[in-house]
Every structure is written in structure tokens, then in C-alpha cells.
Chain A
């Protein structure tokens, strides 16, 4: 369009310039006028030709623009198709996820596994351990319900595969600050059992003394919980209140703090924990458990009675940058009761039993002092703890001890770790030799 205007202007200006000449020429030479007219006519023809050319050029430009628009549209379509194909490829490559189309239900397979080697100077043999394989299943319906379950596969000393259900629970989200949990759940007492025991999180190969089987740390229970976190300004208050089947009397009059499919009495155990985080790096908590446990049936003149069991504990953790420091303390007390030591044994009066366990642990990631690509992944760790048992000589002989762990971890990835460490077990009962274990473990959380 601009070219057309320019040509018209040029022609018009040329005409104006010619008019004076015409006037003078009329008086001098008619032949010149005719020549000029011919020239004007010629120019008009040229102008018409140029107009035609401009029109043709504009037409070509319009066509080019249309082609360009079509090409852009095609490119956008191709980009969208590529994006869709990529999403589909990701979905196909991640069979554990099925919600790319915004469906109401989605699921996720996670878990952890470990394998290791234990060398001991005690009565046991040096042995490779197949460790554990713990798949975890998460099924979520919208933002209303999450079902989560964890199995634990281990190999026993005879080569058989043991399978245990660690937890199997429905999380029903009532509110931003309240979740109702029903089913089999990990005990909310303290921090270790519920949050720290998976081998890719635990910085030492095993649990602290008193925090594993036959210890004072409850493992899991079956019942219901109400739990959540409540912001208090910049601080956070967390709470758990649980009602479950509760513990049972175990062998030698000990207390079995593991979930049982059927309660041994009508009394329900009440468990709770309050956690307070004044700042993000610091968490302190207090827990309790109160329950009754029935004595074990047996022979003799006495019939089994039940006993009160009460547990309380405190815990704390400070985590900042490469530092990870934590402690836990648990104190449990079972009243005296009539019970057999083992099913079918003689029923007798078992004295009150007190259980006390604690540990403190400090770990430091070398990334705090070096950027070296290898050195920065090392993490020295030390843990010291104690398990005290009063009221059962048999259990005291088996488990009461002081335990020191010193280890060095290497993190191949945030959830893949190779651990090496030494564990010194100093048993409390005179006559039982101390034991030193050299432990190596490879763990992967996925």
C-alpha cells in the first residue's frame, strides 16, 4: 500500500512539474505538446503497470502471511502434540502413577530395602544379612482419603521368608488441622518408631537399645487416631491422640507393645503425643501410653489377673544444615500381676516391672565444611544409649545394656546410603560378656 501511494505521488508531482513546460510549449510548438501528451500517456501506462505489479506483490504478501499463520498454527499443534506425547511417555514409564488425566484416584508405590554384613566377637556368627524389603502402598481418593500400607519381608535364620504387616491405615482428612486415622498404625510415641526407623532414614544400622522388639518403645497398634498440626504464629503445635487394643503380657512377664488383632480385654489403650516446634529446626515432644494387660493363662492355683501399664517419654530433635542432633527418653511401668511366664506355665505373682530407655545421637554431614564432590557426602555419626530393666531378671539378662555406636555414612543420593559402623554392647548383668559388632549396611529409600 505504501508503494502504491509513493507511485501516485511521484506521478502527480511529475505532472505538476510538466504543466509549466506545457504552457510555454503551446505557444512555441504543438508537436512538442503532442510528444508530451504521448509521454504522459506512456507514463500513465507505466503507472498502470506499476499498480498491477504492486497489486500482485500485495497479493503475494497476503498469501505469504496466510502461509506463515498456517505454519505457526501447525507449529503450535505440533508442540501441543509433543507435550501430550511426553506426558503419556512419563505416565507409561511411571506405572505407579495413574492420575495424569485428573482422575479421582491415584496411587504410588514406595518403600525401602537394605542389605548388610555383621561381624561380631560375641557368641553369634559373622553373617551377611538380606536385610529388609518394605514396600509401601499409597492409594489416594481426591483430598479426602489416603490408604497406606507397608509390608516387611525378611529372611529368618532357617531361610524362610517372614512377612509382617507394619501398618495398614486409612487417613481421612477432616480438616487442615485434623486427620482421622483408622486401622493398624505405627505407634505415635516418640519419634524413632514412627519417623526414623526406616533404614534409609536411620543413621545407624539398628534401633537404639530398648527401642526395638522386647523394648519399651511401642511398635504399632490397631485402633483410631486423631492427629494433625496447628500453626501458632511462626511456631507449630502437633498432636496425636490414639485409642487402640493396646499391649499384652509377653514372655517372662514382659510387656509386648505390638499390635494384636484381637484385644485381650475390654480395656483400650490410650496413646498420645504433643509436639512443639518453636522454630522450624527444633522439635520437642512428650508422649504417653496407658493401658491394662491381662496375665497369661497357665496352671496352678492362681488365675491370671490384669495389670496397669503406663508409659511416658520426652523427645527432641535439632536439625539445621549438616547438623542432626536428637534424643529420646522412655519410661514404662507395669504393675504386679498374676501370670504365667509362658503359655501353659505356672501362674505366679510377677512383681512390678520398670523399663527405662534413652538415647542421644549426633550426626554431621561433611558438606558443611567441604564442597569436594566425594568428601561432602560423608556423614560421621555417634549414638549412645541405655536400656534399664527392673523386675524381671530374665529380661534384664537378655536386654539391659549400655550401647555405643560410632559410624560413618556415605550418601550416594539423598535416599541411598552406605553405612559402616561399630557397636559396643555393654550388658548390665554381671557375667554376661560385652559384645562388639562391626556393621555394614546398604539402604535405599524409594
Chain B
């Protein structure tokens, strides 16, 4: 079984390369946007839905706006959050701070 998977590694590499090429045009996309009430509402929902999956939800007052921005970016990677969802959560935390 392992041999079969090892033989398929080139396929995995190719798949990863194609994915990266597809993703590259968006590399420079500006992900910052001015928060609006709708985004804040989406962020509140996403915050409640995602953070408690692994740990207690921490109060928005625990960190400053800037600290939240970095912390949520870290969690975007750790929890595989889509980027727009992470942006919504940041907007909510800033609005609640």
C-alpha cells in the first residue's frame, strides 16, 4: 500500500503545483476592507462557531485590535479558516473591543 502511495507522489506534487498556480493571481489581493455592520454580524457568528471548536472563547476585551488581527491570522492557518471568514471575525472583534 505504501509503495502505491509513494509512486503517486509525483501526482501529488503536480496537484500542489497546479493549485498554487491557480491561487497565485490572488496573491496580491488586498484583504483589508472597511468593516460594515453586515460584516460584523457575520464575524460574530463565525467567531462563535469556530473558536469554541478547540478552546474556550476569549473575550474581545482580552486583546487590542491589533493583537486580535495577528492572533486571528494565526488561527486562520491553524484552524484552516477561509480568509474572508477570518476577516469577518477580525471586524467583529474590533467592533466589540
Interface positions of A (Cβ within 8 A of B): 90, 94, 96-100, 106-108, 110, 138, 140, 143-144, 146, 148, 171, 173-181, 191, 194-196, 200-201, 226-231, 236, 238-241, 243, 267-268, 270, 275, 280-281, 283, 288, 290, 292, 308-310, 317, 319, 333, 335, 411, 414-415, 445
Which of A143, A267, A415 interacts with B31 by CB under 8 Å? A143
B41 interface contact, C-beta 8 A: no
Report yes or no: A319 in contact with B53, Cβ–Cβ below 8 A.
Answer: yes
> What are the 4 A-B residue pairs with the smallest beta carbon separation, nearest first?
A308-B2, A176-B83, A280-B49, A238-B80
Report yes or no: A270 in contact with B5, Cβ–Cβ below 8 A.
Answer: yes
Closest Cβ–Cβ distance, residue B87 to chain A (whole Å) = 9
Nearest residue, chain A, Cβ from B5 = A290
Report yes or no: B70 in contact with A179, Cβ–Cβ below 8 A.
Answer: no
Report yes or no: A146 in contact with B73, Cβ–Cβ below 8 A.
Answer: yes
On chain A, the residues within 8 Å of B32 by CB distance are 143
CA distance A256 to B50 in the complex (A): 32
Report yes or no: A107 in contact with B83, Cβ–Cβ below 8 A.
Answer: no
Nearest residue, chain A, Cβ from B46 = A280
Which of A174, A181, A200, A414 interacts with B27 by CB under 8 Å? A174
On chain A, the residues within 8 Å of B31 by CB distance are 143, 173, 176
Most buried by B among A229, A236, A241, A268: A229
Given contacts A292-B6, A319-B52, contact A140 B82 (CB under 8 A): no
Closest Cβ–Cβ distance, residue B78 to chain A (whole Å) = 6
Interface positions of B (Cβ within 8 A of A): 1-3, 5-6, 9, 12-13, 15-16, 19-20, 23-24, 26-32, 49-50, 52-59, 62, 64, 66-67, 69-71, 73-74, 76-85
On chain B, the residues within 8 Å of A138 by CB distance are 70-71, 73-74
On chain B, the residues within 8 Å of A236 by CB distance are 82
Enumerate 14 A-B pairs (CB-CB under 8 Å) in ascending A order: A96-B67, A100-B66, A143-B31, A146-B73, A175-B29, A240-B80, A268-B9, A280-B53, A290-B2, A308-B3, A310-B2, A319-B54, A335-B2, A414-B62
Which of A176, A229, A267, A333 interacts with B6 by CB under 8 Å? A267
Given contacts A90-B64, A143-B31, A228-B82, contact A175 B53 (CB under 8 A): no
Report yes or no: B16 in contact with A241, Cβ–Cβ below 8 A.
Answer: yes
